[in-house]
Amino acid sequence: MYQELGDGIRCSGTTLTVNPFVANVNSWKDPYEPYYMENIYDDSTDGDGNLLNPGSVLFQKPVRTGQPKNNLSRNFGITATIAMPLDREAVKRCKQAMQKRVEFLDMAVKAKKLDYSLSRLKHCAAQKKLGYVFAEDSPSFVVCSDVLLTTPSGVLIEHKHSIDHVEPSDVQKQKGS
């Protein structure tokens, strides 16, 4: 059994395989002989006890052999196999390669999330600068709802101040008081 992660990383490990089974066995004898013919000999004797017709068959009678026509058996069982790689160093290296691959895939997912977030930020900010936003009841409102426009560091936004004109005599009056 192998575990495969891509990029050709394919590691074998210890495996246990358990297989239940049911087996039907049907056997038969060929040729099938359910009975055989037994000779019944003439055992008639004379006055001295000698056979009158030695070896003479009077008739044959059928005798059952007891041989079954066929034999059917059903067997149940389980087989179990344990297979383990013999080169433990190769298995160790393969596991290390798999771990590195998983770490790489995790970083790739994080990079994709960052790309998505930055792209969303860029597009939402550009649209907000142009004055375009989704209506609050729009299903798309949530896409840009967390994007805020702020003043960048080191940039002074255009602004105006009103300065009150004070006469010098008014200033001295205030100092003297």
Indicate whether 157 belongs to any domain.
no
Per residue in 31-82, pLDDT tens? Answer: 888 889 999 999 999 989 898 988 899 999 999 988 777 888 999 999 999 9
The range of the structural domain enclosing residue 92 comes to 2-23+76-129
Band (pLDDT 50/70/90 cuts) for residue 173 is low
**Structure-block tokens of residue 91:** 């298995």
Q: Is residue 113 part of a domain?
A: yes
Nearest CA-CA partner of 9 in 110, 100, 106, 108: 100
Q: Does some domain include residue 173?
A: no
Residue 5 has pLDDT above 80, yes or no: no
| Token pair for 31 | 């040729």
In a domain, 62, yes or no: no
Tell whether 30 is covered by a domain: no
- Give residue 12's pLDDT: 80
Helix (H, G, I), strand (E, B) or coil at 92: helix
Two tokens, residue 37:
């013919």
Q: Which residue has the tokens 């059928």?
A: 62
How many Cα atoms within 13 Å fall on the side-chain side of residue 140?
6
Q: What is the pLDDT of residues 102-139, one digit of tens each?
A: 999 999 999 999 999 999 999 999 999 899 999 999 99
pLDDT, residue 31, reads: 81
User: pLDDT tens digits, residue range 84-105?
Assistant: 888 888 888 888 988 998 999 9
Residue 3: what pLDDT? 72
Looking at the structure of the chain, the number of domains it has is 1
Summary mean pLDDT of the chain:
87
